[in-house]
Structure 1
């Protein structure tokens, strides 16, 4: 049964798409279609490419994956490897991300997210989070042999759309926290430059 979208819902969603595209987020309007129990998923790679994307999924699917696992798709390691592979492919591409790759990328990260402790907290919360995502730390200068780390995040339980600048600020705050706890993620990284690039599309957030 098709969900009936109110005019106000449509305006909010349309405004989110316009704001996101203006700020450089990868988003297809069709991927932000109204769902009966939506959860917005945000992906950001701030260290190298400043790649960022938004997609929409069903919260009930996340709850199902958390409760019943994702073995129907692949093993945990296979999911992790596939997520890393498609992420690397998209980030290394010298052309705009293709729609099919964007859809695959976001679904892979959504499935990967569902196996984390953060996902369980999101699902079990008294007021379930409606805005979640992942920060991808990609850094070839790391000395531990790991060049890509995915950090799950929970952003908000608001039923309304989040402005892209609010998401970017949450990514920045996550990076500050991780800099204290995991300095190995940031070897050779100029954080001031990264922060400036991350927040430059949103001067209104920094006022």
Structure 2
């Protein structure tokens, strides 16, 4: 899952959300000086990634892309799934997506000093371009994929994946609709035993 899903799955816990947001920028075991709930957020992020990467439905989505995008297929599926979460947001949250996004940007800005320095520029652009809301539009996903493609070490062609999304839109939507409630339940179970 990408930013939107990770943030959504954090629930109403600020520190958990901060940890979940920064987790990809924290390598190995988090420093013991980090707030315990932020560490839990990092752990939650890793749990979500593991569950997602090993789930049979997600594997079907990735397999459809693997021949074209190789190791980047999983990253692309994460973006596609964030698109479907944004498009169907009202099915998962009573809080409108623009409001959720604004609250999230505010939380991260207020707690910017807790984020790894490499995230400061990312947060600036995320807020300025309103990534979380833009994921709900095809153009927003196209822009995100283009940006990610520019940052890859090797040629990824990720910027072309928006055409795959459009071509097989209903297939990816069906897979997301099948998978996401299972992920929500998995996260709920994890929180029940770890928080």
Q: Taking structure 1 as the reference length, what is the TM-score of the superposition?
A: 0.31
Structure number with higher helix proportion? 2
Task: Choose between structure 1 and 2 for higher RCO, CA contacts under 8 A separated by at least 6 residues.
Answer: 2
Structure number with higher strand proportion? 1
